[in-house]
Amino acid sequence: MATIEALRTLVSETKPEEAAEMTAELLAAGLDPMEILEAGVMDGLSDVGDRFAAKKAIVLDLVRAGVTAKACIPLIQDAFPEGEGQQYDKKIVLGTMLSQHNIGKNLVSTLLSIGGFEVIDIGEKNSPFDFYETAEKSGADLIAVSVVFAPAMEKFTELIDLLKELKVRDKYPVIVGGAVTSKAWAEKEGADGWGEQAKDGVLLARDLLGIA
C-alpha cells in the first residue's frame, strides 16, 4: 500500500522508479505535497546520509539517493499550489557554495518563484564573489545561500566579510539554510535570517523585504 512511510523506505533504499511511482500514487490519493516531500523524500534522504556518516553507505549510495530524490521531486513540485498570482518586484540571488548538492537549493528556488519573487539561480559551487557580482549586476534585493556541506560554512563567512569589505553589507540582506547549518551558527556568522526548510525562505524574504 502507498504510504508516506513506505515512500521514505523506498528513498532510503534508493529505488528511483518505485519511489517515483509511489510518489505519484500518494499525490493522486490527495496527500499534502509538502508532507510527501518532507516525511517521505527528505527523511528518506536523511536515512541515507545517516548511514553514510556511520560508514554503512558509500558515495555511490549518495549518488543513487540524489537520483531517487530527483525522480520524485518534479512530481511533487507540479502538485504545489500555484502562487496567489502576486508578483513582487524583488530579485533574489540564490546558489550553493563549494557544494554540488543542489536538491535543497532547487526547492528553495521553486518556492521563492511560486511565492512571487524573481529568482536569479546561480547554481552550484559559487565563490563569495560570484554572489556579490551577480547581485550588483542584476540589481538584486536579497542574497540566499544554500550550505549543505560543512566546508561551505567557511565560505559563507567569507561572503559576509566580502560584503562588509565592499561596503554593501546593508544593501543586501543575506539568508542561509541547508542540512549542516543551524540558527545559532547563522546568527553568529551575521546572517539576516536562517531557514530550516525551503518554505522558510519565502517567509524570511517577505519579512526582510518588507512585504506584508
Q: How far is the CB of 1 from ligand B12 (least distance, A)?
A: 25
Q: Closest CB to ligand B12 among 49 and 83?
A: 49
Which residues 6+ apart lie within 8 Å of 121 measured at CB?
Answer: 94, 95, 105, 106, 109
**Taking CA 93 as the corner, what is the angle to CA 203 and CA 41, rounded to the nearest 5 degrees?**
60
Q: Is 8 in the site for ligand B12 (CB under 6 A)?
A: no
Q: Which of residues 46-65 bind ligand B12 (CB under 6 A)?
A: 46, 48-50, 52-53, 59, 62-63, 65
In the complex with ligand B12, which residue's Cβ is closer, 8 or 105? 105
Number of chain positions touching ligand B12 (CB under 6 A): 39
DSSP string, 74-116: HHHHHHSPPP-S---S-EEEEEEBS----HHHHHHHHHHHHTT
* 193 three-state secondary structure: strand
Residues 180-199 that bind ligand B12 (CB under 6 A): 180, 195, 197-198
Among 175, 186, 189, 192, indicate the residue that binds ligand B12 (CB under 6 A). 175
Nearest to 143 by CA among 96, 77, 196: 96
**Residues in Cβ contact with 188 at an 8 Å cutoff, skipping those fewer than 6 apart:** none
Q: Specify whether the CB–CB gap between 127 and 97 falls below 8 A.
A: yes
* H-run or E-run covering 176: strand 174-177
80 counts as binding ligand B12 under rule CB under 6 A: no
The answer to whether 92 contacts ligand B12 (rule: CB under 6 A) is: no
Interface region with ligand B12, contact rule CB under 6 A, candidates 11-19, 21-29, 113-121, 176-184:
176-184
Residues that bind ligand B12 (CB under 6 A): 42, 45-46, 48-50, 52-53, 59, 62-63, 65-66, 69, 99-105, 107-108, 144, 146, 148-150, 175-180, 195, 197-198, 200-201
